[in-house]
Amino acid sequence: MSSPDVGDLEEQYLLAALRSGWVAPVGPDVEAFERELATRVGVEHGVALSSGTAALHLALLTLGVGRGDVVVTSTMTFAATANAIVYTGAEPYFIDADPETGNMCPELLERALRRLADAGERVAALVPVDLLGKAVDYTALEAIAERYDVPVVADAAESLGATHRGRAAGSFGRVSIVSFNGNKVMTTSGGGMLLTDDAEVAKHVRYLATQARQPVVHYEHTDIGYNYRLSNLLAALGRAQLARLDEMIARRRALRDRYKELFSGVAGVSVFGAEGDEHDNVWLTSILVDSEVTGWEPAELSAALTADNIESRPLWKPMHLQPVFEGPRGEINGAAEGLFRTGLTLPSGSALSVEQIDRVGAAIKTFLNEQ
């Protein structure tokens, strides 16, 4: 669906790092990668980490989130967002989605913050998520967060390369995080980065990620630390991927345009979030199927594709419907659940060859003709 897209440039960067002898989680490629990505999104500091989840965890800890706190987040997300909140001992509080974008609904957020403030509960952070590569309406969300004096940790794991009103995803909130997991727009096989303008936050995150070692030779510790750094080899891979980011996004966009064309005459099917997607990174392309109109369910198309050895998947199952998060509260109106029931994500990766894309297109056409 979204496999890694690597070639000669990645090989060249990775080999150069290996031959340089910098095989440790420190080295010139880590520093260069942090600088290059921070510059690309327009913030002062980047801290390269072992995953996007690690970046979320340390961002929350550094903002003082802990036991007894409430952290407000999107229900329409990958589990890593909610897991990182639980790691700190805080309780996730889920907000439902805008049905057009799947991103956190500002009205429901406002209602939740008012309700929590009235109840005298401390909301330690707000974690909005840029779903499938579309930046959240940060203009609306940041204004609300400011009114309630809640710091924002932007989960931009899926949206590197996207913008909101000309500003890059990864530059919003007190802190943003991005992911370089193997299925994201660019990858280090596994990795992430914390991005911020706040020098103190960046310094503290770096300290926690390095086992919270005090700057003395005898390993002195006054805090619980983590081993969350990114290796220099993987940072080198990340630099090559970053150099190719725009080219890879352009390939994903061409693929989405094909799906738009393919489904343009099919009543009851729309490409999810396609309205105004020119500022997205189009990480994954999903369709929404109104089965009352089509007469078929998304699961039937998915089964036909699976029979042809083509991967597809429902949209994220919302967090409030996950057995592990049963109990946590939220502001839920059914929009995310509707997207989960009607959505299907199609092969979207930039590594797909022309032949593979043609094969997917032909399989979809065959399915539609048989209906």
- Binding site residues, ligand PLP, CB under 6 A: 51-53, 77-78, 80-81, 129, 155, 157-158, 179, 181, 192
> Given the complex with ligand PLP, which of 181 and 301 has the nearer CB atom?
181
317 Cβ partners below 8 Å, 6+ apart? Answer: 340
- Given the residues 184, 203, 260, 317, select the one marked as catalytic: 184
Give me the amino acid identity at 26: V
Q: Which helix (H) or strand (E) holds 127?
A: strand 123-127
> Given the complex with ligand PLP, which of 263 and 312 has the nearer CB atom?
312
> Given the complex with ligand PLP, which of 230 and 304 has the nearer CB atom?
230
> Given the complex with ligand PLP, which of 80 and 95 has the nearer CB atom?
80
Smallest gap from residue 82 Cβ to ligand PLP (A)? 9
Structure tokens at 26: 């420190």
Smallest gap from residue 92 Cβ to ligand PLP (A)? 13
Residues in the chain: 371
Query: Residue of minimal CB distance from ligand PLP?
Result: 52
264 burial (CB, 10 Å; 0-12 / 13-18 / 19+) is exposed
Query: What's CA 273's distance to the chain center, in Å?
Result: 16
329 Cβ partners below 8 Å, 6+ apart? Answer: 91, 93, 94
Smallest gap from residue 104 Cβ to ligand PLP (A)? 12
> Given the complex with ligand PLP, which of 87 and 148 has the nearer CB atom?
87
> Given the complex with ligand PLP, which of 153 and 363 has the nearer CB atom?
153
Smallest gap from residue 129 Cβ to ligand PLP (A)? 5
- Long-range contacts of the stretch 317-324 (C-beta < 8 A, 24+): 318/75, 318/76, 318/94, 318/96, 318/97, 319/73, 319/74, 319/75, 319/76, 319/77, 319/79, 319/81, 319/82, 319/92, 319/94, 320/75, 320/94, 322/79, 322/82, 324/79
Smallest gap from residue 83 Cβ to ligand PLP (A)? 9
> Whose CA is closest to 37, among 179, 210, 231?
179
Is 365 designated active site? Answer: no
155 burial (CB, 10 Å; 0-12 / 13-18 / 19+) is buried
Smallest gap from residue 241 Cβ to ligand PLP (A)? 14
Positive or negative, the Cα torsion across 253, 178, 68, 319? positive
Cα–Cα distance for residue pair 12/178, rounded to 1 Å: 24
Catalytic machinery residues: 184
